[in-house]
């Protein structure tokens, strides 16, 4: 394994950012790219994308970087893996910028370990719970997380399986859903994978009640949650058993559907006991008009940043289809479905 790490760092480097990088890089060789003119395609490399925001949360230099990367196409960072460091000037923007960054890098071929983010808001209060659990102050916590993140990135070995299991969750209707139709085409090419599909019936899942941390952990230790039902009886065991999770997500008001959202909220109790670092997240996203990237970013936040799922490069396919059956009119459908299925197989299965 090479010890070289590429640090993509648009804009001014803040004093905190400087200390954090000095602390986390240790003996690694680093190649710094601070000007967009110096950006170039990379292959099979480790990347840190690091940014300090001002109080507006708008960084022209950051957008220049993302513009260049996005224009470079889906293989610009082929085979690369990355982590993200985002430093805020106030309490806003760090999370939304992290989502954007992960989204664009993932579209350019970058894969991400679970929870690939060091996020420090202006006050660093977002690190408070972690600091309490580590018995450190906020500053020390920030340094420790940066070091842990770098170690996880450098030591990461993406898991592959002889007999992979894919769990597919959806809350849609087979008679009408374009998202389900697209999935059925993908499934046609997944013969080598064990597939378990769970349909979340409308209203079958109560949303998270927001138990106190101790209560949630108590239930989680027993692979349970305050509410029982399909989440505990079917979804928890299936998640524990799977190597990849595929979420079928129609765009409902520029968000994932309420049933899917409730399901993700309810994963919290299970997550308290078992992190999901070894499981890959995939998604099929369909919008009637526009906005699929918003859904992808919501999944990135909820499941990669918050719930520690791994993101394979190009973790989602995003298509537009409105009326029932419209997806079948996509002339590229077979090619698209075949390509995504092949991507799932290559990610999960030993050669
Ligand atoms: C409640 C509801 C809200 C929707 N909101 C949006 C939206 O905000 N943007 C959009 O592009 N399509 C929206 N759509 C259309 C769906 O995304 C579209 O039908 C697409 O085909 C995926 O849904 P399906 O898998 O159920 O067919 C909405 C559909 C429903 C039923």
Q: Which residue has the tokens 């990379």?
A: 42
Average pLDDT of 204-227?
Answer: 89
Q: What is the pLDDT of residue 204?
A: 87
Task: Identify which has the larger pLDDT, 222 or 51.
Answer: 51
60 with 172, same domain: the answer is: no
Name the CA radius of gyration of the chain, rounded. Answer: 20
Asked if residue 252 has its Cβ within 6 Å of ligand 1, the reply is yes
| CA 203 to ligand 1 centroid distance, Å | 18
Instruction: Tell me which H or E stretch contains 66.
Output: helix 60-71
- Say if 203 falls within a structural domain: yes
Q: With CA atoms as reference, report the closest residue to 21 among 32, 10, 36.
A: 32
What number does the ligand 1 atom closest to the CA of 181 have?
Answer: 25
Residue 169 belongs to domain spanning: 165-348
Q: What is the pLDDT of residues 248-257, one digit of tens each?
A: 999 999 999 9
| CA 98 to ligand 1 centroid distance, Å | 26
**What is the domain-level CATH number for residue 36?**
3.40.50.360
What number does the ligand 1 atom closest to the CA of 291 have?
Answer: 11
Q: What is the pLDDT of residues 93-119, one digit of tens each?
A: 999 999 999 999 999 999 999 999 999
The per-residue DSSP string of 137-177 comes to -HHHHHHHHHHHHHHHHHH-----BSS-EEEEEE---TTT-
Q: What is the pLDDT of residue 342?
A: 98
Among the listed ranges 66-75, 160-169, 265-274, which one has the minimum average pLDDT value?
265-274
| Predicted TM-score (pTM) of this structure | 0.97
109 with 224, same domain: the answer is: no
Q: Order across the sheet with 46-52: list the strands.
A: 29-33, 4-8, 46-52, 81-87, 111-120
147 with 170, same domain: the answer is: no
Query: Which residues, listed in sequence order, are joined to residue 46 by a DSSP beta bridge?
Result: 5, 81
Tokens found for residue 304: 């990669």
Q: What is the pLDDT of residues 11-26, one digit of tens each?
A: 999 999 999 999 999 8
Q: What is the pLDDT of residues 297-312, one digit of tens each?
A: 999 999 999 999 999 9
Strand-strand pairing, 194-199 and 244-250: unpaired
Last residue of a domain, one of 135, 155, 175: 155
174 with 93, same domain: the answer is: no
- Say if 249 falls within a structural domain: yes
**Does 1 have pLDDT greater than 60?**
no
Q: What is the pLDDT of residues 156-209, one digit of tens each?
A: 999 999 999 999 999 999 999 999 999 999 999 999 899 999 999 888 888 898
Instruction: Tell me which H or E stretch contains 345.
Output: helix 333-348
Last residue of a domain, one of 155, 177, 209: 155
What number does the ligand 1 atom closest to the CA of 180 have?
Answer: 25
Angstrom distances, CA of residue 168 to CA of 193, 194, 311, 342 = 12, 11, 16, 16
Q: What is the pLDDT of residue 26?
A: 86
339 with 209, same domain: the answer is: yes
**Does 2 have pLDDT greater than 80?**
no
What number does the ligand 1 atom closest to the CA of 255 have?
Answer: 8
| CA 90 to ligand 1 centroid distance, Å | 35
Asked if residue 179 has its Cβ within 6 Å of ligand 1, the reply is yes
The domain total for the chain is 2
Residues with Cβ within 8 Å of residue 31, at least 6 apart in sequence: 4, 5, 6, 7
- Say if 49 falls within a structural domain: yes
- Say if 54 falls within a structural domain: yes
What number does the ligand 1 atom closest to the CA of 324 have?
Answer: 27
**Does 84 have pLDDT greater than 70?**
yes
The dihedral formed by the CA atoms of 171, 183, 345 and 343, expressed in degrees to the nearest 10: -110
Half-sphere exposure of residue 322: CA atoms within 13 angstroms, side-chain side? 4
- Say if 160 falls within a structural domain: no
Asked if residue 184 has its Cβ within 6 Å of ligand 1, the reply is no
Q: Residues 195, 169: contact at Cβ < 8 Å?
A: no
| CA 317 to ligand 1 centroid distance, Å | 16
Q: Going by CA atoms, what residue is nearest to atom 1 of ligand 1?
A: 252
Asked if residue 290 has its Cβ within 6 Å of ligand 1, the reply is yes
211 with 295, same domain: the answer is: yes
263 with 172, same domain: the answer is: yes
Strand-strand pairing, 46-52 and 81-87: parallel
Q: Which residue has the tokens 């420090």?
A: 120
Q: Within 203-290, where are the H helices?
A: 213-221, 230, 236-241, 258-273
243 with 103, same domain: the answer is: no
């Amino acid at each position: 394994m090479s010890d070289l790490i590429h640090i993509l760092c648009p804009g001014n480097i803040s004093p905190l950012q400087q200390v954090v990088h000095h602390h986390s890089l240790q003996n690694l060789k680093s190649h710094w790219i601070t000007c967009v003119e110096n950006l170039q395609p990379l292959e099979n490399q480790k990347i840190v994308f690091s940014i300090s925001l001002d109080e507006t949360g708008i960084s022209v230099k950051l957008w220049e970087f993302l513009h260049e990367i996005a224009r470079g196409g889906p293989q610009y960072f082929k085979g690369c893996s990355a982590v993200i460091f985002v430093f805020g000037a106030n309490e806003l923007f760090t999370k939304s910028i992290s989502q954007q960054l992960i989204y664009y890098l993932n579209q350019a071929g970058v894969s991400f370990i679970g929870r690939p983010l060091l996020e420090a808001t202006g006050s660093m209060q977002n690190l408070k719970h972690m600091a309490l659990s580590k018995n450190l102050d906020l500053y020390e916590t920030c340094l420790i997380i940066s070091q842990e993140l770098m170690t996880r990135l450098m030591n990461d070995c993406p898991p592959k399986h002889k007999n992979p299991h894919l769990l597919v969750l959806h809350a849609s209707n087979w008679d009408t859903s374009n998202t389900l139709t697209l999935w059925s085409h993908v499934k046609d090419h997944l013969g080598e994978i064990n597939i378990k599909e769970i349909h979340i019936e409308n209203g079958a899942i109560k949303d998270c009640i927001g138990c106190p941390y101790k209560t949630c952990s108590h239930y989680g230790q027993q692979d349970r949650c305050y509410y029982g039902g399909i989440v505990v009886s079917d979804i928890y065991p299936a998640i524990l058993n799977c190597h990849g999770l595929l979420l079928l997500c129609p765009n409902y008001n520029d968000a994932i559907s309420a049933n899917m959202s409730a399901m993700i909220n309810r994963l919290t109790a299970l997550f308290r006991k078992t992190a999901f670092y070894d499981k890959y997240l995939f998604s099929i996203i369909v919008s009637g008009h526009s906005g699929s990237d918003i859904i992808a970013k919501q999944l990135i936040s909820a499941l990669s940043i918050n719930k520690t799922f791994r993101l394979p490069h190009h973790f989602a396919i995003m298509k537009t289809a409105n009326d029932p059956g419209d997806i079948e009119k996509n002339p590229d459908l077979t090619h698209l479905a075949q390509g995504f299925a092949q991507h799932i197989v290559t990610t999960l299965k030993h050669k």
